[in-house]
Structure 1
Amino acid sequence: MASTSSTRIGDYNLMRTLGTGTTGKVKLAQSLHTGDFVAIKIIKKSNFLQKPNLEAKIHREIALMKLLDHPHILKLREVLEGPRHLHLILEYAENGELFDYLVRAQTLREDVAIDIFRQLIYGLDYLHSHSICHRDLKPENILLDANGHIKIADFGFARWMKEKIAETSCGSPHYAAPEVIRGHPYDGCAADIWSAGVILFALLAVCFLVFDVFEFPASFIFIFNMSFQTEFFVLLKWLIII
């Protein structure tokens, strides 16, 4: 049982709010013992009554994240339970979402884009080698730490692939594979690779903002005349082989 007050959860002092979602909020906190900063996802248990499937979804997310240990996947440190809230103590990624980073930067050097994408593929390869597909890859669910290293986050739609084919359509339609959008059975790992490809396009073309301008399904991608270094094509070939 977690010791909870307005300024403290367990052995962590609460600080500013990092974000707010449908199930609760995420707050920056600092360990009383080590001084390390963490992000605490605070989930209201009352939401479980309003959304019957939410509790099972949260516990599945926790079970998956407890198994994961990779430099490019956000680490779940511990889970603290209070009478009214569930607290997920997460690794803190100081530089926030990749989406916001791209908005601020407006453009990227090609070598930086390639490095970000390479890290994404390393993380995906780790997940898929453990028969886990993410199913909601997008720049908002990729975080950056203080050193600019990416962390794949938000495993709310992730699942173990006991069988190769999934049927539930989920994730952002702007990054989802065609078969997912159509509601057809699909290979979850292959769908992740499609999403990674859309993210790669966003990194290189910096045109992802178009996705928010048009109503789905009338979304358009503007393709610019671009020239790429040899390393880019080598990376694409490697992705296809994976």
Structure 2
Amino acid sequence: MIGLWKVGRTIGKGSSGRVRIARHSTTGQYAAVKIVSKNVLLNSMNNLGDSAEHMLLSIEREIVIMKLINHPNIMRLYDVWETSSELYLILEYVEGGELFDYLCNKGRLSTSEALGYFQQIISAIHYCHSFNIAHRDLKPENLLMDQNKNIKVADFGMAAWQASSNNGMLRTACGSPHYAAPEVVMGQEYNGSASDIWSCGVILFALLVGRLPFDDEDLYTLLEKVKRSTFDMPSNIDPLAQDLISKMLRKDVSQRITIPEILRHPFYISQEPKAVAHSMPNLDDIAKPLSGTDAIDPDIFANLRTLWNGTPDDEIIENLKSDEPNWHKGIYHLL
């Protein structure tokens, strides 16, 4: 038992831990429990140094980000439990499996079905971007489906907060090379929102065509294809879809379509999206200044340090006490 959750069989394994199914002893609700061994992390930190420390930071960041977000197309984090030896993330159980497996079994999808999934993905990512959060690892393996074929975006271990410093640009190259934007592959500083849009363009292509626009067994050749950003567009898919994909897979970031533009694109609006109830954060409504240093909750402050890793504590504290709207205060009050 973990709290009121009775833990059952293992249903998956990842780089940072194993996943087991669990059932709530009172309500009967199912959940997926991601179990991370602290001993493995500590041993890794002793042996691997920076890479293991990065893994620990990514787990902490995943927890903080998932506490923040609440959207019907994003996997929910219900609770976090901790013992002396393990960390338990109680996550929404999504029984339909990965979109990747569904696509492999079915092949290319109809225009209507592909667009329906794409609209749900864009809705979720638009919501994340409204918090300045970039997912950075969007691919069909991280898109789960419930029994009603609703998409649930999962795995925020690579997600990043796009700070106002450095013009919101990110530096760490991450994600699968098949879905990574050329600026990420080339090791340039990049805008996380724009790189997410590229990944969504690759996903839309895969849903409609049944294969990837950039693919090769040799990693070097694959990366060169992504850098060139040239691919064959099948003529037998909807012309409006072709237009949208070509605008999402623009090598020049300044010419790449934005999410507000995607939401107005003729292909996107050619079918009514599934109605989802959620609200976007409004910084002016949530960014209330704290009265002083003594009013700062230490646990929430630790969460802020995880999101703004590398930012001096004094700077975060000053922003929390500031009368001007800023995301430090906004995220503090949301947490």
Aligned to 1:27: 20
SS at match of 1:56: helix
Give the Cα separation in 2 of the matches to 1:182 and 1:230.
Answer: 30
The equivalent residue for 1:4 is: none
> What secondary structure is seen at the aligned counterpart in 1 of 2:138?
coil
Unaligned runs of 5+ in 1: 1-7
1:218 aligns with 2:228: no
Matched, 1:128 2:102: no
After superposition, the C-alpha distances for 1:185-226 in whole angstroms (9 at most, x for unaligned) are: 000100000000000001111113984x61213237664332
Larger strand fraction of residues: 1
The answer to whether residue 174 in structure 2 is matched with residue 170 in structure 1 is yes
Cα distance change on mapping 1:15 and 1:240 into 2, 3 Å: same
User: Counterpart in 2 of 1:183?
Assistant: 187
> Cα distance, 1:240 vs. partner?
6.9
Q: Look up the SS of the partner of 1:9 in the other structure.
A: coil
Amino acid aligned to 1:216: L
Instruction: Tell me, yes or no, if structure 1 residue 241 matches structure 2 residue 261.
Output: yes
In structure 2, do the counterparts of structure 1 residues 191 and 210 end up closer, same or farther at CA, with 3 Å as the change threshold?
closer
- 2:104 and 2:91 map into 1 onto residues whose CA distance is 25
After superposition, the Cα gap between the structure-2 partners of 1:210 and 1:183, relative to the gap in structure 1 and judged at 3 Å, is closer
Secondary structure at 1:54 match in 2: helix
Report the 3-state secondary structure (helix = DSSP H, G, I; strand = E; otherwise coil) of the residue aligned with 2:219. coil
Alignment partner for residue 32 of structure 2, among 34, 39, 44? 39
Aligned counterpart, 1:5: none
User: What does residue 114 of structure 1 align with?
Assistant: 115
1:201 aligned partner, one-letter code: F
SS of 1:57 mapped into structure 2: helix
Larger helix share, 1 or 2: 2
CA distance in 2 between counterparts of 1:58 and 1:206 reads 33
1:161 alignment partner in structure 2: 162
User: Which letter maps to 2:176?
Assistant: S
Aligned partner letter, 2:237: S
Residue 208 of structure 1 aligns to a residue whose secondary structure is coil
Task: Tell me how large the CA RMSD over aligned residues is.
Answer: 2.3
**TM-score (ref. length: structure 1):** 0.89
State the one-letter code of the partner of 2:2.
I
Distance, in Å, in 2 between the alignment partners of 1:227 and 1:90 is 37
Q: Which amino acid aligns with 2:190?
A: Y
Could you tell me how far apart the structure 1 residues matched to 2:232 and 2:13 are? 31
Question: How many equivalent residue pairs?
Answer: 234
Deviation of 1:33 (Å): 1.1
> Match of 1:227, as an amino acid?
I
| Counterpart-to-counterpart distance in 1, 2:68 and 2:210 | 34
> What is the rounded CA distance, in whole Å, between the counterparts of 1:231 and 1:170 in structure 2?
27
The one of 202, 205, 211 equivalent to 2:206 is 202
Task: Indicate how the Cα distance of structure 1 residues 230 and 159 shifts in structure 2: closer, same or farther if over 3 A, else same.
Answer: closer
Summarize deviations over 1:89-121 as a string: whole Å, max 9, x none.
Answer: 000111111111111212311100000000000
Other-structure match for 2:302: none
Residues 234/197 of structure 1: CA separation in 2 closer, same or farther (3 Å cut)? closer
**Residues 209 and 29 (structure 1), Cα distance of their counterparts in 2 relative to 1, 3 Å cut:** farther
**Equivalent-residue separation in structure 2 for 1:16 and 1:133 (angstroms):** 32
Q: Quick check: 2:170–2:189 contact (8 Å CA) kept in 1?
A: yes
- When the two structures are superposed, what TM-score results if normalisation uses the length of structure 2? 0.65
1:227 CA drift (Å) = 3.0
- Residue 80 of structure 1: CA displacement? 0.7
Task: Give the partner amino acid of 1:147.
Answer: N
